[in-house]
Amino acid sequence: MDDIISTNVGLRGGNNMKLEFRIPSENDAKHIATWKYNGIYSFYDNDKTEAKKEWALNIHNEENAFVIYNEKNELIGNCSFDYDEGQIMLGVQMKPDLTGKGMGTEIVETILNFGREKYKFNNIELLVAKFNKRAIRVYEKLGFKIIEEFVWNVNGEEKEFIAMRKEWDI
């Protein structure tokens, strides 16, 4: 199937994980729509609002969205590479029970490598909730810099967000 792109990820401790990027299926979408996070991270629940639930249930219709599977054929996350006013924007979501386990840097780095190979970009931006210190640390480790802070009404809540950008030397 040419919708699958495999790559190996080196994890801390010398372990390797094989990841596959796939075009989302309707079944993937149904699974992603059930994801719920603990504590303050419940902000990211995919059933938090009707709009968020509709997005999750329709991820298989998104043009530049991918699901990520591990070597055990388990869905572990999703990502997207969307264009917004000429700028490519990264979206990343990990399966709730995998967050906070120390795999974020390696997985996001693999997502970036996959995206660069597929879309040939030399810079990328993302938005992250300011309270999400774990994700911000991952992005900073990978060379993202804060370019803007702002308040955004998301899921019916006013939340502080950070826009970050990473550039590669050409």
Tens of pLDDT along 124-150? 999 999 999 999 999 999 999 999 999
- The answer to whether residue 48 is domain-embedded is yes
Phi/psi at 94 (5° precision): -105, 150
The answer to whether 65 touches 57, Cβ cutoff 8 Å, is no
Q: How is the beta sheet containing 123-129 ordered, strand by strand?
A: 5-10, 16-22, 65-69, 75-84, 87-94, 123-129, 157-167, 145-154
Helix 104-119 and helix 133-141, axial crossing angle in degrees, nearest 10: 60
- The answer to whether residue 10 is domain-embedded is yes
What pLDDT sits at residue 16?
Answer: 65
**Could you tell me which of 4, 17, 130 has the C-alpha nearest to residue 71?**
17
- The answer to whether residue 142 is domain-embedded is no
Which of the four pLDDT bands, split at 50, 70 and 90, describes residue 37?
A: very high
- The answer to whether residue 130 is domain-embedded is no
The total domain count for the chain is: 1
- The answer to whether residue 150 is domain-embedded is no
- The answer to whether residue 160 is domain-embedded is no
Three-state secondary-structure class, residue 134: helix
Widest CA span of the chain, in angstroms?
A: 43
Q: What are the tens digits of pLDDT across the range 38-86?
A: 999 998 999 888 888 999 999 999 999 999 999 899 999 999 999 988 8
- The answer to whether residue 144 is domain-embedded is no
38: containing domain: 5-121
- The answer to whether residue 103 is domain-embedded is yes
Phi/psi at 163 (5° precision): -95, 135
3-state secondary structure string, 74-105?
CEEEEEEEEEECCEEEEEEEECHHHCCCCCHH
Pairwise pLDDT comparison (170 vs 14), residue with the higher score: 170
What pLDDT sits at residue 15?
Answer: 56
Which of the four pLDDT bands, split at 50, 70 and 90, describes residue 6?
A: low
Report how far residue 83's alpha carbon sits from residue 101's, in angstroms, rounded to the nearest whole number: 30
Which of the four pLDDT bands, split at 50, 70 and 90, describes residue 170?
A: confident
Report how far residue 26's alpha carbon sits from residue 32's, in angstroms, rounded to the nearest whole number: 10
* Residue listed under structure tokens 């840097």: 105
Instruction: Residue 41: give its domain's CATH number.
Output: 3.40.630.30
